[in-house]
Amino acid sequence: MRHYDLVVLGAGTGNALIDDRFAGVDVAIVSAGPFGGTCLNAGCIPSKMLVATADVADAVRDAGRHGVDAQLRQVRWRDVRSRVFGRLDTEAAEGEEGRRASDHITVYRGLARFTGDRRLTVDTADGAVEIEAERIVIAAGGRPVVPPVVEDSGLPYETSDTVMRLDELPQRLVVLGGGYVAAELAHVFRSFGSHVTVVEKGERLLGQQQDEAVSAAFTDAMRDQWDLRLGRELTAVSGRPGDLRLTLDDGTELRADTLLVAVGRRPNSDLLDLHRAGIDTGEDGRVTVDAQLRTTAEGVWALGDVSTPVPLKHVANREARIVAHNLLHPGRERTMNYDAVPSAVFTRPQIAQVGLTEQEARDRKLDYAVAVHRYADVAYGWALEDTEGFCKVIADRRTGRLIGAHLFGPQAATLVQSLVVALTTGMTAAELAEGPLWIHPALTEVVENALRDLDTVRT
């Protein structure tokens, strides 16, 4: 049995925690998938590269509102796909090659399973390998959830892991789900020319993930772009490959050449035989960790989608920095804080948020104030001809401290950052509005004015 100082399960964010500070540490990295993990190969990065192209296509379609005569002739899907994955596949391969070239890192490609305390077996192409370590970091990620009605049908379907690599652009795409992943990929394929139908069991898109005002506005905005089937569930999948028949719970039958399943993701903890090492998981399958990201087993940490309460890449990156510090500085551990985690949805309109939604503030019976400022009421909003965007801010009425912020419109993922800083540092709305100077006529004025509007509400 090969012994290591440190074993990392996962070549995504887990791989990223191994930097020059670990030069004297004998490390093994074990991964069943390519280096870079979900983010690089099938998630954040390829989807946003496709979104950027979709936004270009939409800008051409919308050029007339600015007095520009332009015509979109076509989106060359295979060229777009090759540009995206030609770069990312190279990044993944070079990442693995770099680790294999290191004199203190061993790479195993295969699925790892625990066999005892800090002991593992790795099923590689060359057979099973037994390894053990002084310390282990579990960063094994997650995978898409596929409902039985789809999986048991025996008919082909796509997930976010596969749909971005299709050889041909779908003509009739049905998207099952109404969350972040579903919304972004529906935006991409509709912009590229696919007819998109979205089936969502909730009454609104993003209903469980966004502030009610944002969810309602986004749902309304998408009615003209997608065929929405809200409050509906998929009950049967039949037909044949390339000509699927999808039956909904109201008896409606949809026809599609491609079905994209985007109803959520689950942690890969069930693949690791964690019970053999005394590593606990919660009811949702997430590995149980404390504030220092230690599991219930001595010498074992966890990070990323396999354990985090907020499965976002920037959260995993912070968790990796926390774990790396704690591995290197026992007795001086740092803790992870999830109080002000921002998120964004890269659709058109773009969406971003941080802190509480209004419904959460209401459910907690907080004494809060709300203000909303529209993009259409600031000068750069005029320049963009934007009529639907807005910034919504929520503050504690007694102290004026910001407790939530939501943006719906162009550049939302960038505009939210000043509000993230405010929530993280405990700034009041007045301090953020009055302290720094805000550039005129930049779009940031929509944030500034929302904060000022909030001051007129607060008593």
The residues annotated as belonging to the active site are: 440
DSSP-derived 3-state class of residue 21: helix
DSSP-derived 3-state class of residue 148: helix
The values of phi and psi at residue 189, to 5°, are -70, -30
Angle at Cα 31 formed by Cα 25 and Cα 32, nearest 5°? 165
Helix (H) or strand (E) holding 52: helix 44-61
| Residue-wise DSSP of 324-386 | HHHHHSTTS------TT--EEE-SSS-EEEEE--HHHHHHTT--EEEEEEEGGGSHHHHHHT-
The two structure tokens encoding residue 310: 């907020």
Neighbours of 438 (CB within 10 A): 16
The two structure tokens encoding residue 312: 């976002």
Cα 160 from Cα 165, distance rounded (Å): 9
Cα–Cα distances in angstroms (integers) from residue 184 to residues 47, 86, 347, 448, in the given order: 8, 21, 5, 28
**Hunting for tokens 């652009």 — which residue is that?**
169
Neighbours of 20 (CB within 10 A): 5
Cα 300 from Cα 327, distance rounded (Å): 10
Cα–Cα distances in angstroms (integers) from residue 358 to residues 36, 354, 369, 395, in the given order: 36, 12, 9, 10
Supply the Cα-derived Rg of the chain in whole angstroms: 24
- Considering only CA atoms, which of 434, 350, 349, 423 is closest in space to residue 393? 423
Residues contacting residue 404 through CB under 8 Å, at least 6 positions apart: 211, 353, 354, 355, 356, 357, 358, 360, 361, 393, 394, 423
- Considering only CA atoms, which of 267, 58, 238, 256 is closest in space to residue 175? 256
Cβ proximity of 161 and 169 under 8 Å = no
The values of phi and psi at residue 65, to 5°, are -65, -15
Neighbours of 450 (CB within 10 A): 26
The two structure tokens encoding residue 52: 């950027």
